[in-house]
């Protein structure tokens, strides 16, 4: 996965920034939105952001096992 890829063009948020937000404790779409601003302007990236949040939360869970 390219962590430098911009997922949210409005706020210029990358996959890596979403991953970092999850690693810093965000566990929901809403918490990632608060931490990064992703998907808070036009909403076009909402599905992509939500998919990444779910993926990184699942990865975090596996790392903790």
- With cut-offs at 50, 70 and 90, classify the pLDDT of residue 65: low
Each residue of 37-57: pLDDT tens digit?
Answer: 999 999 999 999 999 999 999
Cβ atoms of 40 and 51 within 8 Å: the answer is: no
Cβ atoms of 26 and 53 within 8 Å: the answer is: yes
Rounded percentage of the chain residues whose pLDDT exceeds 90: 91
């Amino acid at each position: 996965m390219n962590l430098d890829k911009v997922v949210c063009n409005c706020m210029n948020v990358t996959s890596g920034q979403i991953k970092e937000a999850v690693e810093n404790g965000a566990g929901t779409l809403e918490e990632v939105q608060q931490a990064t601003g992703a998907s808070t302007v036009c909403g076009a990236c909402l599905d992509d952001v939500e998919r990444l949040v779910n993926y990184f939360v699942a990865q975090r869970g596996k790392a903790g096992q």
